[in-house]
Amino acid sequence: MTQKTIVIGSDHAGLELKNKIVVYLKELNYEVKDIGTHTKDSCDYPVIAKELSQLVANGSYPKGILICGTGLGMAITANKTKGIRAVTVSDTTSAKCSRSHNDSNVLCFGERIVGEYLAKDIVKIWLDTEFDGGRHSKRVNMIED
Ligand code: RB5
């Protein structure tokens, strides 16, 4: 069986939650590429978001997760890369619909916004939900155009 792969990144404000999510993803049997940051030193979230987005857009990884203080700057930056559909999520229903309706490929959330348990539930439902296709395909294609 091929192992599932995913790429993850954070800035300093998302570091602690990222480290917990990395452990959780491994428990879910994901091979995890952690592109950093790896210290509490202040860093710039656009650098991390751009690097991760390019890895997803070029097919190196099917999906990615970005964590900063709010999840906002990461998503704003990630969506500048063609082919990226990044969402900032702080509830499980939005996480699920972002996959089934929008085929989101980058999940963003904020360490200052969601707690560890909710973040894990968001990650699990986001990973487990398939894109519905059908009428949603046309709309997702319109985003790309
Ligand atoms: C860092 O202080 C904070 O601005 C960043 O983590 C993020 O929340 C930006 O959107």
Q: 130 φ, ψ to 5°?
A: -90, 160
Q: Under a CB-based contact definition with an 8 Å cutoff, are residues 10 and 40 in contact? A: no
| Residues whose CB falls within 8 Å of the CB of residue 122, separated by 6 or more in sequence, listed in order | 89, 90, 91, 92, 95, 107, 109, 114
Mean pLDDT of 43-72: 98
Nearest atom in ligand 1 to 73's CA: 10
| Residues whose CB falls within 8 Å of the CB of residue 130, separated by 6 or more in sequence, listed in order | 99, 100
Closest residue CA from atom 9 of ligand 1: 73
For the cut 80, the answer to whether the pLDDT of residue 63 exceeds it is yes
Residue 50 alpha carbon to ligand 1 centre in Å: 15
At 107-129, the pLDDT tens digits run 999 999 999 999 999 999 999 99
Q: What pLDDT is stored for residue 2 in this prediction? A: 60
Determine which one of 12, 38, 43, 101 is catalytic.
101
Q: 12 φ, ψ to 5°?
A: -60, -35
Closest residue CA from atom 8 of ligand 1: 69
Give the closest residue to 123 by CA, choosing from 4, 1, 13, 41. Answer: 4
| Residues whose CB falls within 8 Å of the CB of residue 93, separated by 6 or more in sequence, listed in order | none
Residues 85, 38: Cα–Cα separation, whole Å: 25
pLDDT band at 36 (very low <50, low <70, confident <90, very high): very high
